[in-house]
Structure 1
Amino acid sequence: MTAYTNMIHIDQDGVSTLLERMPLTQGVAGQYSESWLQRMLFNHPAALPMREIDPHAGTLVPVCMELRTDAGPADILYVTRTGQVVLVETKLWRNAEARREVVAQILDYAKELSMWSYEDLSREAAVASKGGPGYLLNAVRAAHPDLDEVAFIDGINRSLAVGDFILVIAGDGIRTGAEALVSFLERYGHLRFHFALIEVATFRTVDGALMLQPRVLAKTELLRRSVMIVQHGGQMQPFSNDDSEDVKQTELVTAKNAAVAANWAQFWTEFLAVLRLDDQQQAPPVKPAKTTNLALYLPPGPSYAWISPFVAQAQGSAGVFLTFGKALAEGPEWFDCLYDQRDEIEKVLPGLSWEKQADGKVYIQCPPIKVDSLENPETRQRVITYLAQQTNAMVNVFRHRLESLVRQRGLR
């Protein structure tokens, strides 16, 4: 159940009426569709409680709807004057499965955008908006005539490079399930995003009109790059509307993120110093990651398949998993082929978990180990040693099998 109660309408004569909450899913067929909600939020970005999601977020500039990515079209793209990318997906909630699908969807969009540059975003924004070349910069300049173009472009490139996005799912009748979301979001620890569920409460006014009230239901808090879901229950805190303050705060966050990134880079540097791969055809990572995940790309190559050692501090665990990207349409089929070899695989690497989600996303994961503080030298060494051993074992088991699938399908 939502923590929010109904609104009270008071007319000029002091007559009060309790407004009726109206689920959009029960509206006249086609009248209140997801595309209708999408247009409402795109046209009125100030209605979104962005300060509550990220206190350092600036004013949103609506850029386009239906932004094309290799993972599908993203509903709404906003940007801030400092170059932060904000994606919003709208969803009218009909079942729990729909929630999981849209969470996977927006995370896949984020992953795709993390491989883009400013030029890519500018091009696709121009295509989606039909605004022509330079549309992205012009849209932001229209909202901020004193825009520093160089700083804005640098900000976009920085946001894309590290996955520093604000990801929002907005819909009617949302129900959370925070524990499941924590586990799901940890898999995307290589991206530095804020994530929020926004419930758009809809009320029928006394004159028959509609009133929409977006409000945060749950959001992520980033603590040492671990993901924690915070169920909303507190009051909104006042923040300055001074855009210059937004820039200062952004600089402070960037400095903090740089320190966290340096810590992870040191951790993965130590990991790479220990990692020994028996399979000489497997290319090791070129450089240490600056996030909670590290990727070793498997056939057919980057964006298609990879093995990822990870540290999920929010769950106090670390492990290694194999997954396929959306770019590999054959991913679910390949998972089935590997699963058919499960008995043979688990003779070498026992205890694997095999997960195939409704949206086709798959994960094959070795048994995780418990992790307390990585600042403890003994714990740190134990985790690094385990991750190195399991990464090597996963490569030994899966790389040549994927190589065989690539040859069979004629992908090379």
Structure 2
Amino acid sequence: MKISHADVRFRLFVLYLFSRMFHIDTMTEFSDQSPLRRKARASLSNAAGCFDLQRAAVDDGWSNTTDSDEPEVPKIETDIRFEQARSLINYNKSPDLPFDRSINTYRGCEHGCIYCFARPTHAYLGLSPGLDFETRLIARPNAAEVLRHELSSPRYKVATLAIGTNTDPYQPCERALKLTRDCLQILSEFAHPVAIVTKGALVERDIDILAPMAAQGLVRVGISVTTLDPDLSRRMEPRAPSPARRLAAIRRLRDAGIPVRIMCSPLVPGLTDHELEAMLAAGAEAGADAASWIMLRLPREVSTLWQEWLAEHAPLRAEKVMNRLREMHGGRDYDPRWGQRMRGEGPYADVISNRFKAACKRLGLNQRSEPLRSDLFARPPQAGDQLALF
């Protein structure tokens, strides 16, 4: 898909109008005790990130009041800003990841999963990993254009590209912005292998791109299911699709011939771990052909946000959850070492691993997935290219 300059300008204008629809005052601070946090948001605070000055909300006495003397507070809207990406493909050398490159079309995620390990990345932007991560998003409208440029480089060497490893590529704003879809169209043109991770049922929209790629062995999708309890899901992941809707997405993708993995990630000890076998069975019934799991991870500010959430939503289980996590991380809330950060270690981690393996064997989810193909990769002709003589 070749995007003209006129199309880019029109797209930017549409994105600008869209951002105005969802704009909020960037100077607004949210009190930890404000009812603002109660409406479809997971974070209970908006503390400064580790690279920012500490902030605190102050009552200046000018708040509007009702007859009950309770302050009138507006609903927290989502603020979407735009940045022009200079590069898009991120490379990593992590030995415990099955990919060495990824792209992210968005910073922050409106799904608002309270446990999200990506929350601390918002601190690099001078924003809070708390409510800011859920409500102050950054989109990259030129993502597809930059991706095309990077893939066209003669120095580029093809390998599976991961999408959704940091923030969800199918979060609500993608419905209008279509940045993930634009990137998938570029990957399809180049016959480039791609692995997608998402909670968003919006992935179904792109079946018209994904199905032909799957027929060539170029794509695999992972759908994350953290619990089958819709009430718990709503509180942990307030703007993500319900568990039943995600299972329906697995079925729809499989019906289109797209291989799908059910990802029990993260598994929360003392809260969702008892559902492991049931989640795997539901995924297998929906058509998933593979499975994976990752233990809850609490890097940096995520630990504080998670413990605030536990105290609010599961106070009777809070101590058990944290004790289990610390047992697996040498007494700490989180162990960042490669090889340990995803699963933990010790008797409890071994029990979970053995349960997972037994369930996958019983359900037929233990088959090794075929590697995605890289041999089909080809740079499509560009304007100004010299034509081949033969």
Q: Which has the higher contact order (CA 8 A, sep 6+)?
A: 2
From the two aligned structures, give the one with the greater strand fraction.
1
TM-score computed with the length of structure 2 as normaliser? 0.30
Q: Which has the larger radius of gyration?
A: 1
